[in-house]
Structure 1
Amino acid sequence: MPRHQPGSSLTAARELYQEITKDPSARPLVVASWQRSIEYQVKSSCIDAPYLENPNLDSPLAKAALPILNALHEQLADDPVSTMVTDRNGVVLSRMVSHQALTTRLNRVQLAPGHVFAERYVGTNGIGTALASGRPVMIAGSQHYVEALRDFYCAAVPILHPTRRTLLGAFNLTTARQGSAGMLMALARSVAGQIESEIAAISSRRERALFQDYMDACSSVRPGPVLAINRDVVMMNEQLRSAVTGTDHYALLDHAREIADDLRFEGTRSIALPSGRIAELRVSRSRREDSDAGTIFRVRVIGRPQSGPVASAGSTRSGLGLVGSSPRWLSAVAETEAAFVAGSWLHLVGEAGAGKGTLIEALHRAKGAGRRLERVEAPLSESTHATEQWLRNVRELLAEPSNVVVLRDVHLLAAHLRQQLRSLLTHLDTTATGQLIMTSQPSMVTTDDVLDRLCVASVEVPPLRHRYGDIEHLVRFFLLKYRPSGESSCSPDALTMLQRCPWPENVRQLESVIRGLARRQSVRILRVEDLPPECRVSSHKVLTTIEALERDAILRGLMDRSSNVQRTAQDLGISRATMYRKMRRYGIVPSSLT
């Protein structure tokens, strides 16, 4: 394939794409990848791979891959070849290379641990294209979309779960020396196969260990309801299945998954269920052979279900206009209101779309007493001039005692800017400044966060999936908002499905769905068949763009063919077994489609 002079515009990328499509040596997989890169509007003139601090090295993929990569690194000593393993989102978890010159070149193009090499950010490249296509791929030289990568030759192979065949990540070999593509790909396939075999062995040991501890808990003198869970398996006995049903069942599982993800926690935790009951969870870890096999929950359910939605009469917070009556939501509102009224510096933590901004605006309207609300976003540029201007703006706004200054998404601030902001805030006299409110996402905040310690109060706004009882109130609220005539309602089956939806974008996503349905004048009563594909799944996994498109295509195919799996699989060009695997992967429930 011919080399081209650097060009920074999308037009130049389109011209290169036209040449690639005419090149007889270009494979369809590469052509399709370039098309996606253009659709993502990736800049071919510069590399811009996002950086994620502290990538997860505790996953089964990382634990299985790192020893194999260490052994391979010794075999390839001093060869100009780099070995890498990434997660399913393209985050480089580990990179090993002993050739100093190659190390320097890889660092220059950000091909290093923590950087994200998905196609949507970097365009066509070995890692991103293998993950997007789900197939082994060799990207040679000028087949790379971004110019800075065109001196490299990359062989990447997807790593799949050995039993579920879901995508876990990719193994990648990168070299700057043109050689035998066949040998490079053969080595990459071999190593990816070794990693998958080791994952199978680890999973088998973990599941056997968890099952043994689960059986011990169930066979104790007074077993009661028992739940066992890890990343791959959920086990529950009949006592738990009978004691916790309906929306309480989904709420319990959601809380259990989040508790299980905190590997350091053992002890007792109480959670409020949508029915108004309390579930007391006694948490213990299944640890065998120095490995965490999963989590055992001994469950005690306290109280009786309340008739109807919990506190339905108070679905709108008095005086604030906030919808919701779940205990965690009301607690977050009350704590935030107390800090706001007291003028205390406050840190609001919550997932995107959970309602942090709405809560602040409601409190300002009701309790602001003439104070001015000033919102400050993270700076768009990390240049010295931009950051200095941003800090100066924050200082000037806080110098006015009547201001309420909201620093939004502080987790997006670069490390050096966080340090400068901390220094600025530390030296301010909080008794003579405006009120500071910072917002961030919980997965981005650590227990030793220096900015969090500067605030008098820290409040976590619960995600929508933990507010089951509020979904009905929110649906009615948004229907009335976008259909003021009040002529729309939601059928019980549709409401049940909306309550089971994981809502990864929280209230913002629910509002978007209801707004779209309300604009369809033909819809008076929202039924299951009216709901978009995103509401017809029960899986809480975060999907890439490509996976979401695949999920929606399967859903639409099933709906168009009356849930006939075989016909849908044939029309999509996949086997029925593959179809069922993908349905399980995306949490598609056939009974919900008819």
Structure 2
Amino acid sequence: MAQRAGGGKSGRVAGPLDQERIRRAKEELLTKGLLDSGTLNSGVREVIDRSWRRCIGEEVQSVQPPHRGSLVTNSALEEAAEPVLARLADHLADVRVAMFLSDNSGNILSRKASEPRQRSRLDSAYAAEGFDFSERTIGTNGMGTSLAERRPLVIQGNEHFSERLAAFSCAGAPVFEPFTGRLLGTFSLAANTEDASPLMGAITVDVGRQIESNLAATLEMHDHALVRSYLYANRNKRDQVIVINEQTMFANTAGLSHLGPGTHAMLWHYLNDNAPTRDKCRMPIPLQSEWHEAEVEMIDRGSGSSPTYMIRVLPEQDSGLRLDRGEAATARRRSPATTRSPRPPVHPVPAVDEQLSQVARHRECLALDGGPGTGKRHTAAAFLRTHFAQQDPHVVDVATLLPDEGPQWFVAATTALEAGRPVIVQHLQDLAPLQVNRVKALMRPAESHVPVVVTVDGDSAPAHVSSLISQMATTVALPDLRDMSEHIPGLIDAVLSELEGSEHSTKFSSEAQQLLIRWSWPGNLAELRRTVEQLVRRMPGRVIQIADLPAQIQGARSGRRLSMIETSERETILRALQQFAGNRSKAAEALGIGRTTLYRKMQAHNIEV
């Protein structure tokens, strides 16, 4: 049932004569604070009073809402809504009313407004695609408050928390996913208050139900193969059964032990690259704890649709016999970020971890070789902590030493070794020839059982450094992140485990993890760590979605090259932003376009200020 847009207990629609009284009640509440209870006596509806108080508690500023960009999307919701909105747009072609579709965070996915003057007014209020119209950012409004209350609402004039929206009347209805009841977003209508119709609330409810009906039909079609495959594979309850498609994964109770937060993203990425296209086959697959052999069968659901994979994990006594030498070597090389060893792994790649263990067992001087950002310093510290459990290491950064610098740094490192404290010498590729003998002296005391670890970028190391390492140390090469992308879910979990409070409980959706797996990571592990920590600081305790990822990572989805016109447009926008020191309002004015248009183009071209 549609929520009546009534006032107070009488249920009256707040008419024009009530708007001034509502405005005064809001100002009084803002002045007196949350303890004031006079708003309801002023004719303000309970739902509006609740919303205003939430806005005050959230310290909503009612200024420009954040722009999430044109890359904000919910494809299932948009596909289900498109035919409904197209039909309604034909009926409302001569009516000055705008239609909006938002996701469950209040981000506007779509806006349809046919009248130019109305579009201009909506742009001035930032009511356009890509903007966040949740209640916590823009205050009480038909879209955001419908999400917060999870029911249809009509918000009129000064009932809006923001004065910028006071000229509008809005009706919104939440859209729920069939069968699960999950809140997907809203459909809403907005009109100038003088043009508003009493039917707006009823229309939004009806449209919302039509969208839900389309979603039900789509879900039934898309997931039919998933459910059918699961029921077929689960006939023997003792089998460990997993069924997966691009959006969903589930298992019977026997197979649940193999699933974890990052399993869907890692397994889907692996199957897309390696799974058969036709008949059932046996193959090793990455699961939560380790590699297992399984029977994998792809269920084709027709052209243009992603496949469903039916997986039956084989018992341990069968799986070990099924892997030939080549498959076993591949599995060991690409194994997920855990091993059978009771100790925590120093490095997520088992082959690398085993090499490090051998160096530790034989008390050899270790040289970690890798490009920038491959985690050499982090691996060195983990190596010492895991295998030697000694005090924190003394660190010598060769990059900070002058070519003719005196022996003070060498004396300090030698003193640390004599006291039983391990030493890390990093950036060895920057070592001056005059300092070679001192570093060689540090690398000798293996017989004292005090470990020394050096880090080096072998590709940029001069001949005297390469010679020093070959004489004094055992080299273990650290791979680039793009060469071990299947470990990214585990690496994300490792970063999150180091955080505290609400940041520790932050999660990444499977879709976001899949995009992170496909990213090239030119900055290696350092870039991954910085990206994860930045997202967690911005959205602690939330589930990170694709729309929350950095623009350059989102933009990597298409892989499309820009046309000459698009390249020229992008360069022009960059020059304007540079000219006005990132001031987007001035840049838009100089370019002769509106700010909203500029925001859209910046997102389309992956431009960040």
Give the TM-score normalised by structure 2: 0.49
Is this contact kept in 2: 1:213–1:286, CA < 8 A?
no
Is this contact kept in 2: 1:77–1:98, CA < 8 A?
yes
What is the 5 A alignment of 1:269-348?
271-273=285-287, 276-279=290-293, 282=296, 284=298, 286-288=300-302, 290-292=304-306, 295-301=308-314, 310-315=339-344, 317=346, 344-346=371-373
2:143 maps to 127
What is the 5 A alignment of 1:4-23?
13-14=30-31, 21-22=39-40
Question: What is the distance in 1 between the residues matched to 2:22 and 2:399?
Answer: 53
CA gap 1:185/1:234 in 2 versus in 1, 3 angstroms: same
Deviation at 1:76, TM superposition (A): 1.1
The partner residue of 1:228 within 228, 237, 243 is 243
CA gap 1:456/1:277 in 2 versus in 1, 3 angstroms: closer
Once the two structures are superposed, what CA deviation does each residue of 1:343-377 show, in whole Å capped at 9, x if it has no partner? 734489xxxxxxx997799799969632689xxxx
Unaligned runs of 5+ in 1: 318-323, 335-339, 349-355, 374-400, 403-429, 433-454, 482-501, 507-539, 545-594
2:506 maps to 504
Deviation at 1:297, TM superposition (A): 3.1
Is this contact kept in 2: 1:274–1:310, CA < 8 A?
no
What is the 5 A alignment of 1:226-265?
226-229=241-244, 236=251, 242=254, 244=255, 247-248=257-258, 250-251=259-260, 254-256=262-264, 259-260=267-268
Unaligned runs of 5+ in 2: 1-17, 277-282, 321-337, 358-366, 385-391, 401-429, 432-458, 462-478, 509-540, 546-609
Once the two structures are superposed, what CA deviation does each residue of 1:81-115 show, in whole Å capped at 9, x if it has no partner? 11111111112121111111121222222222222
Q: Is residue 55 of structure 1 aligned with residue 84 of structure 2?
A: no
Q: For this pair of structures, how many residues does the alignment match?
A: 375
Once the two structures are superposed, what CA deviation does each residue of 1:476-498 show, in whole Å capped at 9, x if it has no partner? x99xx9xxxxxxxxxxxxxxxxx
| Alignment-mate amino acid for residue 243 of structure 2 | A
The partner residue of 1:80 within 92, 96, 100 is 96
What is the 5 A alignment of 1:27-176?
27-44=45-62, 46-59=63-76, 61-176=77-192
2:275 maps to 267
Greater RCO, 1 or 2 (C-alpha within 8 Å, sep 6+): 2
Question: What is the distance in 1 between the residues matched to 2:114 and 2:52?
Answer: 31
Question: What is the distance in 2 between the residues matched to 1:466 and 1:184?
Answer: 46
Once the two structures are superposed, what CA deviation does each residue of 1:259-285 show, in whole Å capped at 9, x if it has no partner? 559997672685544554435574735
Question: What is the distance in 2 between the residues matched to 1:328 and 1:76?
Answer: 64
Question: What is the distance in 2 between the residues matched to 1:142 and 1:369?
Answer: 64
Question: What is the distance in 2 between the residues matched to 1:5 and 1:343?
Answer: 65
Is this contact kept in 2: 1:88–1:169, CA < 8 A?
yes
CA gap 1:210/1:192 in 2 versus in 1, 3 angstroms: same
Deviation at 1:161, TM superposition (A): 2.0
SS of alignment partner, residue 94 of structure 1: strand
2:467 maps to none
CA gap 1:123/1:311 in 2 versus in 1, 3 angstroms: same
2:397 maps to 370
Is this contact kept in 1: 2:108–2:132, CA < 8 A?
yes
Is this contact kept in 2: 1:82–1:97, CA < 8 A?
yes
Deviation at 1:149, TM superposition (A): 1.8
Is this contact kept in 2: 1:52–1:91, CA < 8 A?
no
Question: What is the distance in 2 between the residues matched to 1:257 and 1:142?
Answer: 46
Question: What is the distance in 2 between the residues matched to 1:69 and 1:206?
Answer: 22
Is this contact kept in 2: 1:159–1:168, CA < 8 A?
yes
Deviation at 1:69, TM superposition (A): 0.8
Deviation at 1:286, TM superposition (A): 4.3
Two-structure CA RMSD over aligned residues (Å): 5.5
Question: What is the distance in 2 between the residues matched to 1:360 and 1:131?
Answer: 49
Deviation at 1:129, TM superposition (A): 0.6
Deviation at 1:203, TM superposition (A): 1.8
The partner residue of 1:204 within 220, 228, 242 is 220
- Rg larger for: 2
Question: What is the distance in 2 between the residues matched to 1:167 and 1:217?
Answer: 31
CA gap 1:344/1:282 in 2 versus in 1, 3 angstroms: same
Question: What is the distance in 1 between the residues matched to 2:543 and 2:344?
Answer: 30
Deviation at 1:185, TM superposition (A): 0.4
| Alignment-mate amino acid for residue 91 of structure 1 | N
Deviation at 1:465, TM superposition (A): 9.7
Is this contact kept in 2: 1:47–1:146, CA < 8 A?
no
Deviation at 1:298, TM superposition (A): 2.8
Question: What is the distance in 1 between the residues matched to 2:344 and 2:154?
Answer: 56
Deviation at 1:326, TM superposition (A): 8.5
Is this contact kept in 1: 2:140–2:162, CA < 8 A?
yes
| Alignment-mate amino acid for residue 256 of structure 1 | H
CA gap 1:164/1:153 in 2 versus in 1, 3 angstroms: same
Question: What is the distance in 2 between the residues matched to 1:123 and 1:137?
Answer: 14
SS of alignment partner, residue 369 of structure 1: strand
Once the two structures are superposed, what CA deviation does each residue of 1:135-166 show, in whole Å capped at 9, x if it has no partner? 11111122212222222211000111232222
Question: What is the distance in 2 between the residues matched to 1:275 and 1:214?
Answer: 23
Deviation at 1:235, TM superposition (A): 5.7
